[in-house]
Amino acid sequence: MSGGGPPRKRNFKIEAFKHRVELDPKYAERTWKVLEHAIHEIYNHNASGLSFEELYRSAYNMVLHKYGEKLYDGLQNTMTWRLKEISKSIEAAQGGLFLEELNAKWKDHNKALQMIRDILMYMDRTYVPSFHRTPVHELGLNLWRDHIIHSPMILSRLLDTLLDLIHRERMGEVINRGLMRSITKMLMDLGPAVYQDDFEKPFLAVSASFYSGESQEFIECCDCGNYLKKAERRLNEEMERVSHYLDAGSEAKITSVVEKEMIANHMHRLVHMENSGLVNMLVDDKYRDLGRMYALFRRVPDGLSTIRDVMTSYLRETGKQLVMDPESLKDPVEFVQRLLNEKDKHDKIISVAFGNDKTFQNALNSSFEYFINLNNRSPEFISLYVDDKLRKGLKGATEEDVEVILDKVMMLFRYLQEKDVFEKYYKQHLAKRLLSGKTISDDAERSMIVKLKTECGYQFTSKLEGMFTDMKTSQDTMLDFYAKKSEELGDGPTLDVHILTTGSWPTQPSPPCNLPTEILTVCEKFRAYYLGTHNGRRLTWQTNMGTADIKATFGKGQKHELNVSTYQMCVLMLFNNADGLTYKDIERDTEIPASDLKRCLQSLACVKGKNVLRKEPMSKDISEDDTFYFNDKFTSKLVKVKIGTVVAQKESEPEKQGDPPTG
């Protein structure tokens, strides 16, 4: 059709194809046959002679000319027929080769499927969506599933083979994991439902009964520690199995089966097992076994709470025995040390084996709180423990060590319900330490006060701090006193005064006694000095608290320096003026209260090695009819002799120092 007008554009005709395509069914049938042949060739591994383009074009033509349905149905039928043949060959496979044959044919099928889909791409793109057919690839998988996997002969055999292999591996054999991997992957490719229904569910059921049996066997013959080792091993095995040839989604399911069968079902029996259960592990510090138990029990409901409960009742029981044991009550320091040891032991267990689990910490704390308070002397004993440490126990220890010990003691302190009882005793013990100068380290003392303050607040420690202040002030006062008054005092006895603020210190009422004249003089000088500088105060001598160092000369001229209490000093000084005195004389002259006087005399006359006085009669006890003589024949290897006072009660009084020499 050419004509007028500019010949710029040439007229075009529409001619789709060079080769005329006929639209009749016979052509369609022929075209289909070409494709059908190709499909067979593909399955026969004979594709090399085929031309992709030609096949693609054939399919293209069919679809274009509305023969899509014929093509699709033809495909479906051909593949189905093919798969039925394959199914027979798989069924025929002997014994061990069954899985391999299945796997090999699956690989072939996949490859063929891809090729087929490629050449039928046009149909897949256009016909399939429009007519709501299953896409080629999916169709191929479904047909495989229906005709191979779900073929009755194959399905049960497949499942049995897989389960048998897994069982054998559990019993120690080595199996072909790669093959297993391919098979399970195949099942997953066919759809999660296939994997789950045809494999996973039966797998889990069989595993449950396997582990149920095995756990029963183990628990009859193993102790707790070994059983747990086996359980742990099986658990790890299953996880490893999943990672190698099962679908990842199975992991949680199979581990939960093992946990239930091996752990949850036997929890109580394990924990309470005689000679090897939880309590034994705790006693023997079996960290690894405990750690294993913790890790395993954690996985099951109520696992950890079971451990915790048994541990708690064990702690309470042993703690209770500890605090109620009459033996340990005899030695307070030992008592507290044992408590600290228990705490340390269990702290370590919780930290090493239980991963510092807070709930276990809490259980430990509550148990300690429970039994520590069962003994109402616990506060006193803890204070005595600290007293011991601050007097001698921590001698030579580094600052760090001191902190560590004090912190541990504080932990016990926190458990006490009667903290004010502790404070009362602590005050007494502290006073004694301060006044006798027997504390090893001021820093350590102060550190303890700080800790108590942090724990209980300022009110709790204000008096204790007052005591420290008094000590310091007294030192300064004495320096000043001697600086100002040394001429006046001359050669008199040397005085060392501690001025205690009433209210801060635990004092007992002190009835006055008659001090020797020499002492009295210097004491009054001090009083005058002090009240001169401090208005509105009142001083009371605590004669029941002091000490004295006296020089004494005995029969053969041997000199000794005696360290005695104030009362003892008053008694001894009387013998400067008389060789023998009756009890009543002494009582009248010193005015010391009767019970104190008796103890005083007892320590001076009745204690071996310390008998600077001689008593008539030589009985053990002091009676009001006794007479006392200065013991010329006294001997001692030591030059300085300390004469303590016989103790009447556990709580001994704090002392006040005084140093009058006498001749």
Partner 1 sequence: MLGKGDHHQPQEEEEDTGGVVKLISAEGFEFVIDKKAAMVSNTLRNMLTSPGGFSETRQGEVRFPEIPTHILEKICQYFYWSLHYSSGKETAEFPIEPEITLELMMAANYLDT
User: Contact region for partner 1 (CB under 8 A) — 16-24, 152-160, 387-395, 425-433?
Assistant: 16-24
Position among 10, 20, 608, 633 found at the interface with partner 1 (CB under 8 A): 10
Residue 71, Cβ neighbours under 10 Å: how many? 23
By rule CB under 8 A, what count of residues binds partner 1?
29
Measured CA to CA, the distance from residue 451 to residue 214 in angstroms comes to 56
Other Cβ atoms within 10 Å of 41 Cβ, number: 16
Q: Which listed residue (60, 371, 481, 505) binds partner 1 by CB under 8 A?
A: 60
Task: Indicate the residue among 12 and 458 with the shorter CB distance to partner 1.
Answer: 12
Q: State yes or no: residue 16 binds partner 1 (CB under 8 A).
A: yes
Q: How far is the CB of 216 from partner 1 (least distance, A)?
A: 52
Q: How far is CA 497 from CA 14, 472, 478, in A?
A: 131, 12, 7
Q: Which residue has the tokens 């693609």?
A: 56
Is there a contact between 209 and 220 (Cβ–Cβ < 8 Å)? no
- Out of 122, 360, 425, 481, point to the residue binding partner 1 (CB under 8 A): 122
The answer to whether 255 touches 301, Cβ cutoff 8 Å, is no
* Nearest alpha carbon to residue 497 among 661, 660, 387: 660
Amino acid 192 reads: P
Pick one of 27, 36, 40, 56: the residue that binds partner 1 (CB under 8 A). 56
Query: Could you tell me which stretch among 112-120, 252-260, 345-353, 531-539 binds partner 1 (CB under 8 A)?
Result: 112-120
Is residue 517 a contact residue for partner 1 (CB under 8 A)? no
Peptide bond into 135 cis (omega under 30): no
Helix or strand run (H / E) with residue 656? strand 656-657
Closest contact distance (angstroms) between CB of 236 and partner 1 is: 39
Query: What is the closest distance, in whole angstroms, from the C-beta atom of residue 140 to partner 1 in the complex?
Result: 14
Tell me the closest approach of the beta carbon of residue 183 to partner 1, in angstroms: 21
Q: Indicate whether 27 belongs to the interface with partner 1 (CB under 8 A).
A: no
Sole window of 114-122, 237-245, 440-448, 545-553 interacting with partner 1 (rule: CB under 8 A)? 114-122
* Cβ atoms within 10 Å, residue 290: 23
Binding mask 123-162 for partner 1 (x = CB under 8 A): --x-------------------------------------
Which lies closer to partner 1 via its Cβ, residue 53 or residue 240? 53
What's phi and psi for 580, nearest 5 deg? -135, 140
Q: State which of positions 30-49 bind partner 1 (CB under 8 A).
A: 42, 47-49
Nearer to partner 1, 119 or 431 (CB): 119
Pick from 36, 185, 44: which is nearest to 111 by CA?
44
Nearer to partner 1, 50 or 163 (CB): 50
Give the integer Cα–Cα distance in Å for 352 and 59: 71
Residues 189-218 that bind partner 1 (CB under 8 A): none
5 binds partner 1 (CB under 8 A): no
HSE-CB at 292 with a 13 A cutoff on CA atoms is 22
Choices 52-60, 249-257, 448-456, 616-624 (CB under 8 A): range interacting with partner 1 = 52-60
Q: Which two tokens stand for residue 61?
A: 């033509």
50 binds partner 1 (CB under 8 A): yes
Q: Does residue 17 touch partner 1 according to CB under 8 A?
A: yes
The β-bridge partners of 614 are 629
Determine the Cα–Cα distance for residues 581 and 560; give it in Å rounded to an integer: 22
Separation between Cα atoms, residue 457 and residue 466, nearest integer Å: 15
What is the side-by-side strand order in the sheet with 546-553? Answer: 640-642, 559-565, 546-553, 656-657
Q: How far is the CB of 201 from partner 1 (least distance, A)?
A: 34
Is position 111 an interface residue for partner 1 (rule: CB under 8 A)?
yes
Using the rule CB under 8 A, is 51 a contact of partner 1? Answer: yes
Task: Rule CB under 8 A: say whether 59 interacts with partner 1.
Answer: no
Please say whether the dihedral angle defined by the alpha carbons of residues 119, 123, 124 and 126, taken in this order, is positive or negative: positive
Contact positions toward partner 1, by CB under 8 A? Answer: 9-12, 14, 16-19, 42, 47-53, 56-57, 60, 111-112, 114-115, 118-119, 121-122, 125
